[in-house]
Amino acid sequence: MRSGVIAQKMGMTRLFTEAGNHVPVTVLRLAQCQVVAHRSKEKDGYVALQLGSGTRKVKNVSKAERGRFAVAKVEPKRKLAEFRVDEKELIPVGAEITADHFVVGQFVDVTGTSIGKGFAGGMKRWNFGGLRATHGVSVSHRSIGSTGGRQDPGKTFKNKKMPGHMGNERITTLNLRVVQTDVERGLIMIEGAVPGAKGGWITVRDAMKKAPPKDLPKPGKFRLADAAPAAEAKEGA
């Protein structure tokens, strides 16, 4: 199992195929996505990579966090996330993951925080049909109607679909296809919509329900701190 990446959502556009068909894509940018730390089975009980992306002003970082980033020899990061990996899929601390970590045509799972809609009624939040628009209903056409039973059970059960706060939830969209990558600018174009607003932070990893491509780089594509070109570590390093 390989590591994923932390990316920033830039917005949507479209790309044209050789046949002239247009493909709507979401543009994700890798903002200096670097490995900050390792999690080992001996010390932490599991094997994982901690990645950081984006930049923060040093004055806004606590002394403890400054020391942690100094040990890894990376700049303070705005967003941190952990990815469980196999021991042979570890990437060196300080390495920057590049956009060709994913290959064109492969499927990925994307996780982000959906846009908050505030308080919403049952029709908008749960796609209810509403009440009749003609006889017998007065000024309550969009209400949800009765919510409880009769004397038995005499209450409204928990988790019933009702009006309430809509959006602002952690959502994972499965099996989105990578259409194009730009290593120089650190861009990944993914077909379809990705949860979250522009500028939001997104985690991207290999699809769990699709077979990985045969040419998938292991443990990944990355650029070492002291090397300009992207390097591919040997399997089992």
164-184 pLDDT per residue, tens: 999 999 999 999 999 999 999
Token pair 């899929």 is found at 89
What pLDDT digit, counting tens, does each position of 185-232 carry? 999 999 999 999 999 999 999 999 999 888 898 888 898 876 544 444
Per-residue burial over 21-36, b if 16 or more Cβ lie within 10 Å, else e, is eeeebbbbbbbbbbbb
Mean pLDDT (the chain, rounded)? 90
What pLDDT, on the 0 to 100 scale, is given for residue 226?
64
Q: Other C-beta atoms within 10 Å of 170: how many? A: 10
Q: Other C-beta atoms within 10 Å of 158: how many? A: 5
Residue ranges of alpha helices (H) inside 103-211 are: 122-126
What pLDDT digit, counting tens, does each position of 29-83 carry? 998 999 999 999 999 999 999 999 999 999 999 999 899 899 988 999 999 999 9
What pLDDT, on the 0 to 100 scale, is given for residue 36?
94
Residues 6+ apart with CB under 8 A from 135: none
pLDDT bracket for residue 237 (50, 70, 90): very low
Cα 37 from Cα 136, distance rounded (Å): 65
- Which is more confidently placed, 3 or 149? 3
What pLDDT, on the 0 to 100 scale, is given for residue 134?
85
What pLDDT digit, counting tens, does each position of 84-117 carry? 999 888 999 999 999 999 999 999 999 999 999 9
Residues 6+ apart with CB under 8 A from 58: 66, 76
Kindly state the tokens that stand for 114.
Answer: 């959906």
Give pTM, 2 decimals. Answer: 0.83
Per-residue burial over 39-78, b if 16 or more Cβ lie within 10 Å, else e, is beeeeeeebbbbbbbbeeeeeebeeeeeebbeebebbbbb
